[in-house]
Amino acid sequence: MTARVSFITANQAPVSARHLFAGGDPGPLVSSWAQVPEMLDVTLPFVGMIMGASSVSVRHKELVILRTSALMQCRFCINAHTEVAVDVGLNELEIRALRGELAVGDVFAMPSEIALLRWIDAVATGRGAVADDIATAFAGHFQDHEVVEVTMLIGATLMLNRYASALQLPNSAESIDRLQQAGYETALTNQGAIA
Amino acid sequence: MNAVLDAMENGTISRRVWFYANYHCNLECSYCLTESSPRAPRRQLDHSLMKSLTRQAADLGFTEVGVTGGETFLDLALPATLAEMSESVPVIVLTNGTLFAGDRLERLAPMLGRQISMQISLDSANPDLNDMARGPENFAKVVESIPRLINAGHRVRIASTGQAPDEESQEALCTLHRSLGISDDDHVVRPIVRRGRGATFDGSVPAGPDELFPELTITADGAFWSPFAPTVSNDHVDTDLLVSRTVEPLSVPAQRLVALAQGRPVGSDVANNIR
Ligand code: SF4
């Protein structure tokens, strides 16, 4: 699959983005955003803040990102965040459930995480308001500032999912290799099979 | 907006804004920064946008506008556009000077009596040397055009591009431009810049953010650091000196250029003489 946009290379990186290329290839998101340096300047800190360390735990953040990406069938993000999920300590069953290969209800048992997953599913795939019972259950386990962060994170992930899918961004060869060695499918063969 | 004015006043950025009117050209010079030729994509800048941005430039405190290309006068509507732009600030337009033979000079009439000057390229007093880089008969066409333009009432400057000439060649060039009616003040000598087709020239000078004086430059592809920045390599506009894709309002790229330029050592471009 060929990317539908060209990537800025280190020697063509705009002055304001040069530091991002200093350590090598910054990946297809940054290399494509660098086409529009004024957009890159604000998008990267935004995405960095939303995805990075914050008051919401790393584990919960990966639940949000991987689950949303699987619901959106975004191959690039599923692959990238399967790796992150492994790195932050989610176990294989949890990862496979979030990827849509197992039923989440068979794997996740903590009430707070079940409420979180139901909230993710409703926000990411729904239209209009979220049902009261789902919202009430979610609010029962998370404080307002966490509700704000999680919901923004779902939205940001949706944005990245559609961007990466529409433009057919590639994962790195090393990343694909690592996932395949760990037994994960990398080519999105389970379309529509989200449990 | 004060940051932009302050930056102009303290010399961080130039008071001139440049526009790349187009990228195609009737010539195909060997050192051309923009890989221009008759076959090059036009990348034309909309004239109403140039006029609007010129008014905005004046409001921001810029005091001069430059228009370059490609060969700017391939666009027959340019003289009227330049005339309108010059109502806001003085305009300098760069041209290869080969398109003004015969009654084509009359097309420039809208520019007369305005604060518009034309900068024409002429590299050497030796026709063969000049034409080696700029194409057959270029020398003859240019030395014929310049006095006609001056006689018609246009203000003309000459720009010579090349490696620093020896004393004898320099003197011959100056004798020539004076004989054409161009004063020493209206003759500029510039090095070949190591970008575009000039990238492979021995003796060309590097042109990155450390060497180029920040001069806001607007093209159909966005705003750039300097008129030496939106060059073309292998048919692609170089993005290493891209400031923003946003060009309007002009305050957006102007503010970004100031932010990028701040902290840059003052006068670091002068060593290479590529202002
Ligand atoms: S240097 Fe000027 S005249 Fe020569 S090809 Fe380039 S744009 Fe045309």
For residue A189, what pLDDT band results from cuts at 50, 70 and 90? low
Of how many residues is chain B composed? 275
CATH code of the region B2-272: 3.20.20.70
User: Could you tell me if the CB of B29 is within 6 A of ligand 1?
Assistant: yes
Q: Which bin fits A53, alpha (ψ -120 to 50), beta or left (φ > 0)? A: beta
The predicted structure's pLDDT at residue B268: 52
Q: What is the mean pLDDT of residues A178-195?
A: 74
Residue of B nearest to A18 (CA): B240
For residue B164, what pLDDT band results from cuts at 50, 70 and 90? confident
Question: A7 contacts in B (CB within 8 Å)?
Answer: none
pLDDT tens for A30-46 read 999 999 999 999 999 99
Q: For the beta carbon of residue A41, count every other beta carbon within 10 angstroms.
A: 16
List the residue whose alpha carbon is closest to atom 7 of ligand 1: B70
Distance B142 CA to ligand 1 centre (A): 13
Q: Which bin fits B6, alpha (ψ -120 to 50), beta or left (φ > 0)? A: alpha
Q: What is the mean pLDDT of residues B102-121?
A: 95
The predicted structure's pLDDT at residue B59: 98
The answer to whether residue B246 neighbours chain A at the CB level (below 8 Å) is yes
How many angstroms from the chain centroid is the CA of residue A105? Answer: 21
Distances (CA, A) of B93 to A129, B58, B73, B159: 59, 17, 9, 12
List the residue whose alpha carbon is closest to atom 1 of ligand 1: B32
Map out the domains of chain B as residue ranges. 2-272
Model confidence at B265: pLDDT above 60: no
The answer to whether residue B248 neighbours chain A at the CB level (below 8 Å) is no
The predicted structure's pLDDT at residue B198: 94
> Would the CB atoms of B239 and A11 count as touching at under 8 Å?
no
Index of the ligand 1 atom closest to the CA of residue B161: 1
Model confidence at A17: pLDDT above 90: yes
Q: What is the mean pLDDT of residues B23-40?
A: 97
Model confidence at A194: pLDDT above 80: no
B 152-181: CB under 8 A from A? none
Question: A14 contacts in B (CB within 8 Å)?
Answer: 239-243
User: Could you tell me if the CB of B28 is within 6 A of ligand 1?
Assistant: yes
User: Could you tell me if the CB of B36 is within 6 A of ligand 1?
Assistant: yes
Percent of chain A having pLDDT more than 70? Answer: 96
pLDDT tens for A116-152 read 999 999 999 999 999 999 999 999 999 999 999 999 9
Minimal Cβ distance to A13: which of B240, B256, B260: B240
pLDDT tens for B35-85 read 999 999 999 999 999 999 999 999 999 999 999 999 999 999 999 999 999
The predicted structure's pLDDT at residue B126: 96
Index of the ligand 1 atom closest to the CA of residue B31: 1
**Distance between CA atoms of residues A179 and B107, nearest Å:** 67
**Distance between CA atoms of residues A166 and A161, nearest Å:** 8
Outline which parts of chain A fall under CATH 1.20.1290.10. 58-181
Question: How far does the CA of residue B200 sit from the closest CA of chain A (Å)?
Answer: 16
List the residue whose alpha carbon is closest to atom 4 of ligand 1: B29
Task: Fill in the amino acid letter for B78.
Answer: L
For residue A193, what pLDDT band results from cuts at 50, 70 and 90? very low
pTM of the entire predicted model: 0.92
A86 burial (CB, 10 Å; 0-12 / 13-18 / 19+) is middle
What ipTM did this prediction achieve?
Answer: 0.88
> Would the CB atoms of A37 and B242 count as touching at under 8 Å?
yes
**Distance between CA atoms of residues A28 and A49, nearest Å:** 19
User: Which of B23, B68, B96 to mutate for ligand 1's pocket (most ligand atoms within 8 Å of CB)?
Assistant: B96
Model confidence at B138: pLDDT above 80: yes
Q: Which candidate in A9, A15, A18, A20 is best for mutational testing of the B interface (most B CBs within 10 A)?
A: A15
Q: Which candidate in B13, B210, B242 is best for mutational testing of the A interface (most A CBs within 10 A)?
A: B242
Distance A78 CA to ligand 1 centre (A): 49
Q: Who contacts B116 (Cβ-Cβ below 8 Å, separation ≥6)?
A: B82, B83, B86, B90, B91, B92, B93, B154, B155
Strand B232-233 vs strand B222-224: parallel, antiparallel, or unpaired?
unpaired
Question: How far does the CA of residue B166 sit from the closest CA of chain A (Å)?
Answer: 34
The predicted structure's pLDDT at residue A169: 97
Model confidence at A190: pLDDT above 50: no
How many angstroms from the chain centroid is the CA of residue B115? Answer: 17
The predicted structure's pLDDT at residue A195: 39
pLDDT tens for B179-224 read 999 999 999 999 999 999 999 898 899 999 999 999 999 999 999 9
> Would the CB atoms of A37 and B252 count as touching at under 8 Å?
no
Percent of chain B having pLDDT more than 90? Answer: 89
For residue B273, what pLDDT band results from cuts at 50, 70 and 90? low
User: Could you tell me if the CB of B27 is within 6 A of ligand 1?
Assistant: yes
User: Could you tell me if the CB of B111 is within 6 A of ligand 1?
Assistant: no
User: Could you tell me if the CB of B227 is within 6 A of ligand 1?
Assistant: no
**Distance between CA atoms of residues B170 and B182, nearest Å:** 15
| CATH 1.10.490.10, applies to A58-181 | no
Q: What is the mean pLDDT of residues B230-235?
A: 96
Which residues of chain A are at the B interface, by a Cβ-Cβ cutoff of 8 Å? 8, 11-16, 34-39
The predicted structure's pLDDT at residue B151: 97
**Distance between CA atoms of residues B259 and B191, nearest Å:** 28
The predicted structure's pLDDT at residue B72: 98
Question: B242 contacts in A (CB within 8 Å)?
Answer: 14-15, 37
Give DSSP secondary structure letters for B89-117.
Answer: S-EEEEE-S-S--GGGGGGGGGGTTSSEE
Beta bridge partners of B222: B219
Which tokens in the block code for residue A65?
A: 């990102």
